[in-house]
Structure 1
């Protein structure tokens, strides 16, 4: 069992090597899309509705585990990558991704939360979302997941 966990961590580190800003690494092996088989997980992002320019705010992302099954989750240090886009769809934030692998045991329904702090410099309307990417080991079968939370809108005024 220990050897399997070490192999999974090493595989995880190779799969999640480097990320261009605004893009997530993609693997075609066992990756589930948002539309299929997501009943076990729900992603949600929470943002303030109105902000002032230059004022720091927090974006909170939650990954809800909707099953009672015990499973092993493998991910980067942070599960979520946060995306902030202007009204033209241009990403305005950069987000550093740490390639350190993390293994967690999930035993029943629980929520994993992460926060991201940012300042928007220009007034306007922005879309904020978060994408969770991780792998699950259920009974020796490893499956990759990539789940995007529904984007939320924030209005930034001077």
Structure 2
């Protein structure tokens, strides 16, 4: 019995010593598209700039003191299915006046929502707001989400609109 225990122990020791550890994958940065930022990417560097797209839509003209709706969309342009995690919503919206001053406050609970993000899928969210002062404004949104341990920030285009009396 001791002989078998000794043989098994030798084999287990040899197996433990022969384990090869692989170095971590290099961190890739997306320098081609300034609208996509992440600490790491699980997506090959050649596909990063084509993986996600974000767009924003707003009416060209709205009336002062009346609610209007801004819509932002995030699209998975890749052929890969992902599981994404995000706060209560995916997008953070920012509205600025003609002098560049932020005129809205956008607070969102950091609830950890996890959902599938299939290949070629698109998610859209809306934001309802009301402005009192007539003038020219611009709105942008940033999608903040994570896939595995990789955090992403994808900014939309900037959309201008007029607030009239």
Question: Does the CA-based 8 Å contact 2:85-2:113 persist in structure 1?
Answer: yes
2:164 equivalent to 1:153: no
2:116 and 2:62 mapped to 1: Cα distance? 37
RMSD: 1.8
1:43 and 1:28 mapped to 2: Cα distance? 15
Residue 124 of structure 1 corresponds to which residue in structure 2?
135
2:58 equivalent to 1:58: no
Q: CA deviation at 1:28?
A: 7.5
TM-score, normalised to structure 2, is 0.71
Q: Deviations over 1:77-115 (max 9, x none)?
A: 101000000011110001111110111112221111100
2:81 and 2:38 mapped to 1: Cα distance? 25
Runs of 4 or more, structure 1, over 4 Å off, are: none
1:58 and 1:77 mapped to 2: Cα distance? 18
TM-score, normalised to structure 1, is 0.74
Greater relative contact order (Cα < 8 A, sep 6+): 1
2:125 equivalent to 1:114: yes
1:144 and 1:96 mapped to 2: Cα distance? 19
> Runs of 5+ in structure 2 lacking a partner?
1-36, 42-46
- Structure with the larger strand share: 1
2:114 equivalent to 1:69: no
Length, aligned pairs only: 124
2:58 equivalent to 1:47: yes
Residue 104 of structure 2 corresponds to which residue in structure 1?
93
1:107 and 1:65 mapped to 2: Cα distance? 7
Higher radius of gyration, 1 or 2: 2
2:151 and 2:49 mapped to 1: Cα distance? 11
